[in-house]
Chain A
Amino acid sequence: MRRGTFVRWGVPIAAAAVIAGAMGAGPVIAAVSGDPVLPERTAQQLLADAAAATKDKAGPPPMSGTVQQTASLGLPALPDMGGASPLSLLSGSHEVKVWYGAGDKLRVAMPTQFDESNLIVNGDQIWYWDSGDNTATKIKMAKGAEKPHALPTPGPADVTPQQVAAKLLANADEHTAIRVTNNAQVAGRAAYQLVLAPKDEGSLVQEVRLALDGETYMPLQVQVFAKGSAEPAFQVGFTQVTFTPPAEENFSFTPPAGAKVKEETIGAGGDAEHAEQQAESAKEARKDTKVVGAGWTRVAVLPATLADLTAKPAETPSDGKPGSHWKGGSEGADPSALVQNVLKTATPVSGTWGSGKLIKTKLVTALLTDDGRLLVGAVTPEEITKAAGTK
C-alpha cells in the first residue's frame, strides 16, 4: 500500500518534471548545442562587417519577427499609461511584431490585449492605425524630409535592434574594451556577440552586448548590463525571426469602414506650426545643452528648472518620445506625471557646486540643481556632482 502510494504519486511528479523540462528545454538545448559553429572573428572584422551592413542603404534582408523589449531601469513604479503609449516602454516588458519587406516597406505592430497599434510604411504611404480609438492617421512626410526609416521623432520603429545597434556602434572608440564571442544564440540563430565594456570606472554601464546574426550580420539583440547586476537593465531583441520576405498584404493598408481618418504632416507644411515650434524648441535646447566629460562618462547639462520639468516636460530633448505627436493632446499629462513620480524619489544633495536633487536608477543618474541645470548621464553620483562643479 505504502509503496503503491509512492509509485502512484510519482506520476504527477513525473508529469511536473516533464512540463518543467519542456519549459526549460529551449535554453538547455541551446546551451548543449551551443558549440562555436561560427568561424572566429576579431572585433575589428566583425565591426567592419556590421558597419558595412548598417551603412548599406539597400538595407537589411527582408524579414519578419517578434521583437521583445525589456527594461528594468529601477525607475519607481510608473503610472499606468495604457499599452500603446511609448512612455510605457520605460518599464516592464513589451512585444512588437516587425515585418520588413525590401526597400521601404515596413510594418510594426504593437499588440496588446484586445488592442493593436500599427505603423505601416509602404513607399511614401505611411499609416498609423490605433484600434483602441479606432483611428487611422495618414502621416505625410514633408518634401525634403529624410527617408521614412529616419523619422524626425523616433517612433516605435526605433525599438528594432538595427537602429539601437547603429547608435551604439557610433560610440565604439578608445573608451571601450571590445571583445567578440561566437557562440551566442538569439531567436534560435547562431550569432556573434560583440561585448563593449566601458574602461571608465565612473560609468554605470557594466557592458553592452550586441548580438549579430552569423549569416546576415543583422543585429538581433542589444543588452545593456548595469554594474553589479546579472540581468540586463535594458534589452531589445528578436525572440523569433525569419529571413523570408513577408506577405505583401502586410504593407497595404486601407482605413476600415467606420474608422476615423486623420492626416498629419511631419516636417513642414499642413500641420507645420506645431512641428516647427517643436523643432525650434528642440534646436534651442540643443544650443543650451553642454556635454561634460568624454566617452562613457559623458554628462549632458541642460537648462531646466523644477517648474519647467513638471509643466512642459515634453519639450526637453531627453524626453525624445513621440507620444504627443501621434496621439494628440490625450497623452500630454503622462510625461509630467512620470516626472513628478520620479522626482518623489529624488534625494537632496549638496556640495561646493551648490545643491540639488539626485535621481539614481540602475543605468542613469540625473541631477537637478537648484540653479536650474539638469545633468543626465550613465555615471555614478560622484561623477555627476563632479560634472556639476565644472561650469
Chain B
Amino acid sequence: MSTAETQERRTPGLVPVAETMRTAERRPSSESGQSEPAGPPVRLASAFWRLLGSELGLTFRRPRNQVMLAVVACVPVLIGIALRIASADEAVGGLIGSVAGNSLMLTFASFSFLVLLLMPIAVSVVGGDSIAGEAGAGTLRYLLAAPAGRTRLLVVKYLNAVVFAYATTVVVALSALVTGLVLFPVGPVTLLSGSTISVAEGLLRILVTVGYVGAGMAALAAVAVALSTFTEVSIGAIAATMILVIVTQVLRAIPQLEAITPYLLPSWWTKFDAVLRSPVDFGSLGQGLLVFGAYILLFGSIAWARFSGKDITS
C-alpha cells in the first residue's frame, strides 16, 4: 500500500492504475458478469478448466518451451549412442554398464543424468515465468480483471507448471525408451540388487519412476512459482531457482554437510533408484514423496501469501 502511495505522489501527472487488493477481490458482478448469477459452482469449475486449458496451450505452443523439450529429448539419444560406441571398447560397471546389456536401463541412466540439471532448468523456466512473465509483459492485470480471483489464477499457473514438469519427464522416458529399443537388446532387466525382472515389470517400474521424478520436478515448480511472485522480471525468478538448485547440489557434494542433505530437494530426485532394487524400496520413495509434498505446501503457501497481498502495478 505504502509503495503504491509513494508512486502516486512521485508521478502526479499520471492516473494511478495500480490494482490493489480491494479492486482485485471485488467480483465485477454489475458490469461484465450479468450472465453469472452469484457464482454457481459448475460455472466456476468449467471456467477454471478453461483457464488452465488456455494456459497449457500457451505454454506448449511457445517455441522456447518446445525447444527445451526437444533438447531434453535429445539427451537420451546422445547418451544411448555414446554408450553404444563405448560399450564396444570396454565393459563399464554400474548403472551405465548395465545399459549396454538392456534397453530399458537407458531410461534409468538418462534420468540419473537429466534429473541433476537439465530437467530442473526446463521446469524452472516455465515455473519462474508463470507470474513474473505476465507481470513483465503487463498482462497480469488483464488476467486479474477477468472474474478469476488471484488464488485461482495462482493455482492454474502452478498446475500449468506441474503439467509441463510431467511432460518433460514423459518426454525423457519415451525418448530413452525408443532409443534403448533401437540400440540395445531387449530382455529381462538386471536390477542393482543382482536379480532380474521381466520386461513388463521393467516397464511398470519405468512408470513408477516417471511418477516419482515428475513429483520431484513439481516440487521444484512450486519453488519457481513462489519466487516468480516476488519479481516482475521473469529471468530473475528463473535464475534464482537455478541458483538454488546449483547451490543445493554443491552443498550435497560436501561430505561435512551430510547432516543437512535430507532436507535438500535435489537429494531426493536421485532416490528413484529405489525402483531398481529388489524388493522395491517403497519406504525411500514414500519418504521422497513426503519431502516433495512438504516443499509444495511450504512454497505454495508462500506464493499464495505473497501473490494475494501483492499490489499489481503492471
Known: A116-B277, A132-B94. A8 touches B309 (CB 8 A): yes
A93 — which chain B residues lie within 8 A by C-beta?
Answer: 258
B284 CB to nearest chain A CB (Å): 9
Instruction: Say whether B283 contacts A19, CB under 8 Å.
Output: no
Q: How far, in whole Å, are A66 and B279 apart by their CA atoms in the complex?
A: 13
CB-CB nearest in chain B for A113: B270
Contact B97 A134 (CB under 8 A): yes
* A385 CB, nearest partner CB in chain B, Å: 32
Tell me which of B98, B193, B302, B309 has the highest count of chain A C-beta atoms within 10 A of its own C-beta.
B193
What does the 1/0 interface line of B250-278 toward A look like (CB < 8 Å)? 00000110100000000000100100111
Task: Out of A22, A129, A240, name the residue touching B194 (CB < 8 Å).
Answer: A129
Interface of chain A residues 1 through 49 with chain B (CB within 8 A): 1, 4-5, 8-9, 11-12, 14-16, 18-19, 22
Which of these binds chain A: B202-210, B232-240, B293-301?
B293-301
Question: Which residue of chain A is the closest to B20 with respect to CB atoms?
Answer: A1
Taking the closest CB of chain A, its distance from the CB of B115, in whole angstroms, is 11
Q: Contacts A8-B308, A12-B305, A129-B193 given; indicate if A247 touches B279 (C-beta within 8 A).
A: yes
Q: Which B residues are in CB contact (< 8 Å) with A16?
A: 298
Contact count band on B: 35 or more
Are B255 and A114 in contact, CB atoms less than 8 angstroms apart?
Answer: no
Residues of B contacting A: mostly: helix
The count of A-to-B residue pairs whose CB atoms sit within 8 angstroms is 103
Tell me, yes or no, whether A216 is within 8 Å of chain B by CB: no
Q: Are A113 and B193 in contact (CB under 8 A)?
A: no
Residues of B near A77 (CB, < 8 A) are: 255-256
B108 to chain A, nearest CB (A): 8
Q: Taking the nearest CB of chain A, how far is it from the CB of B195, in angstroms?
A: 7
Does residue A259 face the partner (Cβ distance < 8 Å to B)?
yes
- Asked if residues B194 and A255 are in contact (CB atoms below 8 Å), the reply is yes
Given contact pairs A5-B309, A8-B309, A259 touches B194 in the complex (Cβ within 8 A): yes
Contacts of A250 in B (CB 8 A): 278-279
Contact partner, A134, options B21, B98, B302, Cβ 8 Å: B98
Please tell me which one of the listed residues A1, A12, A115 contacts residue B21 in the complex, with CB atoms under 8 A apart. A1
Give residues of chain B (145-199) contacting chain A, Cβ–Cβ below 8 Å. 187-188, 190, 192-196
**CA–CA, A255 and B192, complex, Å:** 12
The reply to whether B258 and A92 form a contact with Cβ atoms under 8 Å apart is: yes
User: Given that A114-B94, A115-B94, A247-B279 are contacting pairs, would A9 and B298 also be in contact in the complex, using a CB cutoff of 8 Å?
Assistant: no
Instruction: Assess whether B94 is in contact with A131, with CB atoms less than 8 Å apart.
Output: yes
Contact A114 B97 (CB under 8 A): no
B255 touches A132 (CB 8 A): no
For B282-314 the 0/1 string (1 means CB < 8 A from A) is: 010000000000100110011011001100000
The answer to whether B101 touches A257, judged by C-beta atoms less than 8 angstroms apart, is: yes
| A9-B305, A19-B294, A131-B94 known; A258+B192 contact, CB < 8 A | no
Cβ–Cβ contact A136 & B298, under 8 A: no
- Say yes or no: is A109 at the interface (Cβ < 8 Å to chain B): yes
Q: B residues bordering A, Cβ < 8 Å?
A: 1, 21, 91, 93-95, 97-98, 101, 112, 187-188, 190, 192-196, 255-256, 258, 270, 273, 276-279, 281, 283, 294, 297-298, 301-302, 304-305, 308-309
